[in-house]
A = this chain, B = another copy of it.
Amino acid sequence: MKLTKQNLDQRLDHLYDAIIVGGGAGGLSAAIYLQRYGLSCLVVEKGRGRSFWMQELRNYLGLPPETPGRDLLKHGQEHILALGADYLRGFVEEVRDEGDTFAVKVKVGRQSSIYPVFRSKYVIAASGIIDRLPHLDNMQNVYDYAGYNLHVCMICDGYEMMDQRCGLFVGSEGAINTAFVLNWFTPYITVFTHGQVEVGSEMRQKLRDHGYPLIETPIKQFLGHNHTMTGVELIDGSTVELDTGLVAMGSHYHNEYLKGIESLEWNGENLVTDNMCRTSHPRIFAVGDLKEGLNQVSIAVADGTLAATAIWRDIRRVSEPRRWEQNLIGAVP
């Protein structure tokens, strides 16, 4: 059921089989499977994750290409609630390992916040990442285009940029190398550093060799209308016409709540997992963008399947087998 400040105290004495941190594609898929395995779970979703911002989910089998990410999330919420999962809007502040159980502390409510602690046997870290965006004085100007034709994922949206004039917005010198993959889709690339990146002579030469302009003047604003970005105005008043853009400024990983668990193995900000999405802690799983690999909806959904199945196998193997008692009393044919 949907938990709120009003009813969540009903669950404070419950030991969930799993608490899922994050209600994106990976977390919702895990919840579908856990509930269908007859296990109990709570999904804690902070809202506005990466899939929420997707305007069109163009590469997920079964949904029309123009389906917004938020529709996937809405259908998934209805699906898991119908299966009896619990769902709470809140922000997981800390996961504490108590030995056989986890204590998961959640901040609920932006105002007059409360901090309930829920308990579970397993934790699935499905809290994902959020892309960093160019920082302008007027961020609304960025949000007007991000997720429309100002993209954040080349694998998802390279196809939409095919042979178009594309701005590549970088947050580090290393990110400029994105240009040399993006050129599979379009060679008409202009790199923007927003005045915040030191670019060495070798990289400058590489860009010149490919014919990709490097613009280091800070951006004043994106130009366009109706969520269609048509170019960039720089602080010197000059403009650059563009048909599309790709932001490659790195991501923020929502994994702070796990930093107190000592035995976890990390690769940078990614959790290292086995082929069932189990981390180096036997009762913590990581799915979707938090683990290593492709950051794709289809991968997160499969990860949820794998993590839930591994948890079910664990719990099943330590459970007493169910006998058909009536037949044990009488004669069995």
Q: A61-B304, A65-B79 are in contact. Are A321 and B183 (CB under 8 A)?
A: yes
- The answer on a CB contact under 8 Å between B305 and A294 is yes
Whether a CB of chain B sits under 8 angstroms from the CB of A184 is yes
One digit per residue, 1 when the CB lies within 8 angstroms of any chain B CB and 0 when it does not, for chain A 83-104 equals 1000000000000000000000
Interface positions, chain A 33-75, Cβ under 8 Å from B, are 33, 35-38, 58-65, 67, 71-72, 75
Whether a CB of chain B sits under 8 angstroms from the CB of A137 is no
Interface positions, chain A 1-57, Cβ under 8 Å from B, are 25, 28-29, 32-33, 35-38
One digit per residue, 1 when the CB lies within 8 angstroms of any chain B CB and 0 when it does not, for chain A 202-243 equals 000001111111110000000000000000000000000000
Q: A189-B324, A306-B294, A324-B189 are in contact. Are A62 and B65 (CB under 8 A)?
A: no
Whether a CB of chain B sits under 8 angstroms from the CB of A171 is no
Whether a CB of chain B sits under 8 angstroms from the CB of A110 is no
Whether a CB of chain B sits under 8 angstroms from the CB of A130 is no
Q: In whole Å, how far is A193's beta carbon from the nearest beta carbon of chain B?
A: 13
- Residues from chain B with Cβ under 8 Å of A325 in the complex: 187, 211
- Residues from chain B with Cβ under 8 Å of A208 in the complex: 332
- The answer on a CB contact under 8 Å between A333 and B61 is no
CA A207 to CA B184, docked complex, whole Å: 60
Kindly name the residue among A36, A159, A210 whose own CB sees the greatest number of chain B CB atoms within 10 A.
Answer: A36
- The answer on a CB contact under 8 Å between A211 and B62 is no
Whether a CB of chain B sits under 8 angstroms from the CB of A301 is yes
- Residues from chain B with Cβ under 8 Å of A326 in the complex: 211
- Residues from chain B with Cβ under 8 Å of A36 in the complex: 58-59, 158-159
Q: List 25 A-B contacts (CB under 8 A).
A: A28-B61, A29-B298, A32-B59, A36-B59, A37-B159, A38-B158, A62-B71, A62-B72, A62-B301, A63-B75, A183-B321, A187-B324, A187-B325, A210-B321, A211-B324, A211-B327, A211-B328, A211-B332, A212-B327, A212-B332, A215-B333, A275-B293, A298-B298, A299-B302, A299-B305
Q: Kindly list the 10 A-B residue pairs having the minimum CB-CB distance in the complex, ordered from nearest.
A: A302-B302, A211-B324, A211-B327, A187-B322, A36-B159, A211-B328, A298-B305, A29-B61, A183-B322, A62-B72
